[in-house]
Structure 1
Amino acid sequence: MTRDDVEALILSFPAVERSSSYGEPSFKVAGKFFTWMRPHLDDSVVVHLDSLDERELLIEMDPATFHFTDHYRDYPIILARVAAVDPAWLTVMLARRWRRAAPPKVSRLHPNIPGESPA
């Protein structure tokens, strides 16, 4: 994927808007933090996971794509290198994050989002 591809994917989710965090591109859903990209640091996208175990498994399976920094050591977050990340995997993971980050009012308005099967 390219940075533009990742940004377009992120912006394809309802009510997502551009913002910035720490001088890098970030994205919010209805004003709540959704994710951010690190193009000037390591050209990665921040992906929220369910557990630290999930992060360790992903890194073990594909260290060329997945990594993390000390900043994220205690959080179930992984960094996915933009050039190597699988678009289908990223879509599903962003859908999962969107469901958690979107306020209930916004989430109810959008029963089907990218990466999810229609209800």
Structure 2
Amino acid sequence: MAATSDDVRVIALALPEATERPAWDMACLRVRDKVFASMPPAEEWVAIRLAPGENAELAAERPEVFSVPHHYRNSSMVVVQLAAVDRSELAELLTEAWRLRAPARLRAAFGTPAR
């Protein structure tokens, strides 16, 4: 089943200390004010921060789901088409993005360190 923008919010905001605060005309999901994901107003996709290089790998493997637009080429963000991804994979990606941005103590309280 395809994921939705509601799934993005439910999954992300269930993570410890995750909040939503807009910036750049986008809904930005943050942990301790560090952005780990963002969605544009149309909410057809979500950009998720991954480990360096992981975004390009996903985009090369599954271009129907993942892409790295020009404005993200120098970052580790990957654009995920919500209609093409299922909720469980979305949850894995958002959780990993949260872990990469959360401070060590918060990650430890959550139960697992970042990779």
TM-score normalised by structure 2 residue count: 0.80
Q: Which structure 2 residues correspond to residues 96-115 of structure 1 after superposition, within 5 A?
A: 96-111=96-111
The answer as to whether partners of 2:36 and 2:48 remain within 8 angstroms in 1 is no
The 10-residue stretch of structure 1 (63-72 or 13-22) with the greater mean CA deviation from structure 2: 63-72
The 10-residue stretch of structure 1 (69-78 or 59-68) with the greater mean CA deviation from structure 2: 59-68
Name 2:31's counterpart in structure 1: 29
| Greater Rg by CA | 1
TM-aligned CA distance change 1:49 to 1:109, over 3 Å: closer
What is the SS of the residue equivalent to 2:83? Answer: coil
TM-aligned CA distance change 1:97 to 1:55, over 3 Å: closer
In the alignment, structure 1 segments of 5+ residues that lack a partner are 113-119
Say what the alpha-carbon RMSD is for the aligned residues.
2.0
Name 1:64's counterpart in structure 2: 64
TM-aligned CA distance change 1:14 to 1:22, over 3 Å: same
Q: Which has the higher contact order (CA 8 A, sep 6+)?
A: 2
Number of residue pairs the alignment of both structures matches? 110
Tell me the percent identity.
27
Name 1:3's counterpart in structure 2: 5
TM-score normalised by structure 1 residue count: 0.77
